[in-house]
Amino acid sequence: MSVSLQVIYPASAEAIFDYDYYENTHLPLVEEHWGELMETVEASRGIAGGPDVPAPYLLIATITFADMDTLDMAMGEKGGPIIDDVINFTNVQPQILVGQVLMS
């Protein structure tokens, strides 16, 4: 059964996030290291939390893997450069959610 890795960047007054770097450097780095392991990848930039409500998150990235073993391999053997790159585009500590995909 597929599993998802969500990387969630909460918004705050102090948050810095370089969307250009994320899109043009970080996402290609993810593809380079995890490309053969990922089933899908999606990144959504927060624009609102509802009508006239600021977005509670700057960005949420969702990556799906075939199973937990594949996710573990990605995070273990191949995750270092991806994790180390986060400081190059944000000062936000991302929240992580691993989930079981119920529908896609």
Output the pLDDT for position 104. Answer: 81
Output the pLDDT for position 88. Answer: 98
Structural domain boundaries enclosing 22: 12-56+67-100
Give pLDDT tens digits for 67-81.
999 999 999 978 899
How many domains is the chain built from?
1
Residue 6, in any domain of the structure? no
Q: Are 87 and 16 in contact (CB under 8 A)?
A: no
Output the pLDDT for position 79. Answer: 86
Q: Are 51 and 3 in contact (CB under 8 A)?
A: no
Give pLDDT tens digits for 8-64.
999 999 999 999 999 999 999 999 999 999 999 999 999 999 999 999 999 999 999
Residue 43, in any domain of the structure? yes
Output the pLDDT for position 14. Answer: 97
The residues that bridge with 36 in the sheet, in sequence order, are none
Residue 25, in any domain of the structure? yes
